[in-house]
Structure 1
């Protein structure tokens, strides 16, 4: 192992319509993805908008020799099994993003959906799926125990940000670098069997930093400061979505907050990621590899 800090580059393989402002939460523009499909496509299934940006993401990683981790929805694996196999063929890790991109519900429904999604992803990918990231990064204290029961080795749902839009509640004091969380409290260090790979936040302000969304909205300097701070401590994680390197979707009546959320999607972010991957002096690992190093560094209590 070299003295360079470790970086896990990760991708949430969902589409723009999975965003909370569009579907998946009580205040969404469309009540369900099915309602969105009918309204947008006149059909009952997705229209393949993700295919072109996924090809660009895979090409980006090939250019920079990145082996990434793709957190994939069960419903996306059902709709696009060929894309999941493309991810595997390119040497990347498949991890679980839940069955559907909806806010975390009650415990039993979550367990059932997670078990189903894990099974689908393993069947399609041929990989053991050991990583999880909650849709919308909404986490509850009991999630880690369920992950352990279902055979997951790590989670990547914590962002040590102040509470924002119903997200990140109780997580502002969480570590910025990979750790073992405490039982019943994912924001504290402890000895839980499931390792946490957090998403770095911007110092002092405590807002998300190492994400495609904040890179676009706040600028690349914001991402570099937040990511750099975590890397100086030894390891970090960055994530983005395929739709972020595609042109923003067009539809009437787009509110200001949605226009801001979709700011600089397309070539701008792709160029920014190109520069970021070129400039960083890091060891590039999958999230699973980073979790394994963390587990070895912090033995389970």
Structure 2
């Protein structure tokens, strides 16, 4: 694990770093939770940052934008309003960014919400929660890779469940044979890592991080419990009112999760497979070592305290079956069909 004191020591170097002067970042899903915490730290602790913030409602994000402006008057904040569960909209947003920038240093993604309901397809034929966890995020990566590869310190981070990969059916990567929310959550975790493996191998100048954040007090669990229906209302209400408050005493705060998010975004602990000479990130504080990769150079699977996660037996088995290539081919096919339905 990486101690929070070491993380703060690393982040404190950013203001004086030429390498991270005027950094450009794209935050997807940063109007609440871990993404918001990281966005706040990024704006506060870097010099003349530019942040593209992709979300559904600029009006709802106004208090956050005001807070960010107050924390760093030299920052540039651009809110891009859209529904990102649709691939067509992701493409439009990425086109806007590409029209304005010649590089992106950081792509930080944490969109989505907890649900135990059945399939909820969008107009493009994709289950919306699954799209937000997987297809939306990978589409942003795919579209912005040219700008990321123009950065001296490019990094892609997905907050989901790195290190929790499991065996999956490679013949049913879209869960068309059978669907339930729990299986979909597990599938998106494993597919993210396998897709990142394919991307890390084909884009070695970019570092990829898939993190399991652990229990962070984001309010997501109470919202899930409050939405319970039928026979689950009574036990869910009890858990929400009496159990969750106790668990929150042990949970990580959004502020600390944000500090850790900034560390992942900038530290030399997570170099790409082929780093630009002398450009791998903020120098490591004494006692902090370069993270262990996932046996694929440039890809890091991390736990809640930013410790390197072991490769699970399920992931090792899928690698032996050529899972990375199969998953990426499936993602490309899903995108193509979704965009055809969008017209």
Q: What interval of TM-score do these two structures reach, taking the shorter chain for normalisation? A: 0.3 to 0.5
CA radius of gyration, larger in: 2
Normalization by structure 1: what TM-score? 0.41
Normalization by structure 2: what TM-score? 0.37
